[in-house]
């Protein structure tokens, strides 16, 4: 059995990553999969879990699931405590149940939001076999370059993207740039307040250009003229199918370690315009399957370029489909099993 442990306080990209990892293990390996939730497990995720996968809420109260697993994959999200020995000894503010960590055979710590907590893994590594998984090259290299990670540099270290089930997304080649859009959670920093300005600037010059969104926060949506669907008002597959170009335009300081929404859009065959921070450059190759931006003028120029050069849309679309095969669940799980 291979266990996936994380907190499931919401049903966002990190939580969906956990579910798809479990589904992939169950579908594509000889191993059983188990999802271990720190506390409750969201009802909205239950329908996404494949039959036969065990979901254990409040799993820290049931240590046998950790001890019996061949490997426990700890998905850290933004939880710093998971990487500390105190957490597993029940000495953090999150819980008070000691875990017999010396009985756990192997632990892989996957850092998909913050990598700095990895510096503490040297203490856990005294009691069990420990490895580090980062979601992008930047995190991977940070451990090599910064002195605070000196004690964990010798631990096995890997890079692994998020698994995307291609069967849940309709892939097709785009041949025009008429409808631009994005979907995401309604979290504040995921939506740049300059979105209305960008839409107005583009449609003022190109009246035929359209903008579609899903999940845009109200403060930004009220300034938009395009279609603004509520979060989950449509399926991700159908929403992506309605677009010609995916524009990931969060606040300029937001750093996405590995944006699942970008990966899904690539699987769908969409050219990508995105903020050049975090791990986005691991997904988007500039002028190959999309355009990377740093500031407002970059986004403006990118959309104008695509509108004025429609021939590049098909090339970028095909490249998105080609590159995104690396994110298909079966291929991600194959890499994961090599790490285990």
Identify the weakest region by mean pLDDT among 163-167, 183-187, 288-292, 328-332.
183-187
- H or E segment to which residue 224 belongs: none
pLDDT of residue 10: 83
Nearest one of 110, 90, 123, 206 to 162, comparing CA atoms: 110
Computed from CA positions of residues 231, 233, 236, 241, in that sequence, does the dihedral angle turn out positive or negative? negative
CATH class of the domain whose range is 167-326: alpha beta
Are 167 and 23 within 8 A, CB to CB? no
| For residues 253-271, average pLDDT | 94
| For residues 167-189, average pLDDT | 94
Answer whether residue 323 shows pLDDT above 80.
yes
Q: Which residues of 271-293 are buried (b: 16+ CB within 10 A; e: fewer)?
A: bbbbbebbbbebbbbeebbbbbb
- H or E segment to which residue 18 belongs: helix 13-28
Domains of the chain, residue spans: 2-160, 167-326
Answer whether residue 11 shows pLDDT above 90.
no
| For residues 28-37, average pLDDT | 97
Q: Tell me if 2-160 shares its fold with 167-326.
A: yes
Answer whether residue 77 shows pLDDT above 90.
no
pTM: 0.91
Number of neighbours of residue 338 by Cβ within 10 angstroms: 8
Residues 154-167 have pLDDT tens digits of 999 999 999 999 99
Number of neighbours of residue 204 by Cβ within 10 angstroms: 9
pLDDT of residue 111: 95
Q: Is the CATH code 3.40.50 the one for domain 2-160?
A: yes
């Amino acid at each position: 059995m291979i266990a996936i442990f994380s907190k499931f306080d919401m049903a966002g990209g990190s939580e969906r990553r956990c579910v798809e990892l479990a589904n992939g293990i169950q579908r594509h390996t000889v191993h059983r999969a188990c999802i271990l939730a720190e506390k409750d497990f969201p009802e909205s995720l239950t329908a996404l879990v494949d039959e036969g996968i065990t979901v254990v809420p409040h799993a820290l109260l049931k240590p046998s699931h950790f001890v019996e697993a061949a490997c426990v994959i700890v998905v850290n999200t933004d939880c710093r405590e998971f990487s500390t020995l105190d957490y597993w000894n029940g000495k953090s503010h999150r819980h008070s149940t000691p875990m017999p960590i010396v009985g756990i055979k192997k632990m892989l710590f996957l850092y998909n939001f913050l990598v700095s907590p990895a510096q503490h893994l040297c203490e856990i590594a005294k009691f069990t076999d420990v490895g580090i998984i980062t979601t992008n090259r930047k995190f991977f290299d940070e451990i090599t370059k910064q002195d605070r990670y000196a004690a964990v540099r010798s631990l096995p270290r890997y890079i692994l993207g998020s698994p995307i089930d291609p069967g849940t997304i309709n892939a097709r080649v785009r041949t025009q740039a008429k409808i631009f859009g994005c979907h995401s959670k309604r979290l504040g920093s995921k939506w740049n307040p300059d979105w209305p300005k960008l839409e107005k600037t583009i449609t003022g010059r190109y009246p035929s250009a359209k903008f579609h969104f899903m999940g845009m926060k109200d403060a930004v949506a009220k300034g938009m003229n395009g279609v603004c669907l509520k979060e989950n008002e449509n399926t991700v597959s159908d929403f992506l199918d309605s677009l010609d170009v995916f524009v990931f335009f969060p606040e300029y300081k937001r750093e996405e370690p590995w944006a699942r929404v970008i990966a899904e859009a690539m699987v769908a065959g969409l050219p990508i315009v995105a903020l050049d921070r975090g791990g986005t450059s691991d997904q988007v190759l500039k002028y190959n399957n999309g355009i990377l931006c740093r500031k407002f003028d970059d986004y403006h120029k990118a959309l104008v370029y695509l509108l004025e050069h429609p021939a590049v849309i098909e090339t970028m679309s095909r490249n998105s489909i080609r590159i995104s095969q690396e994110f298909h669940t079966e291929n991600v799980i194959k890499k994961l099993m090599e790490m285990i």
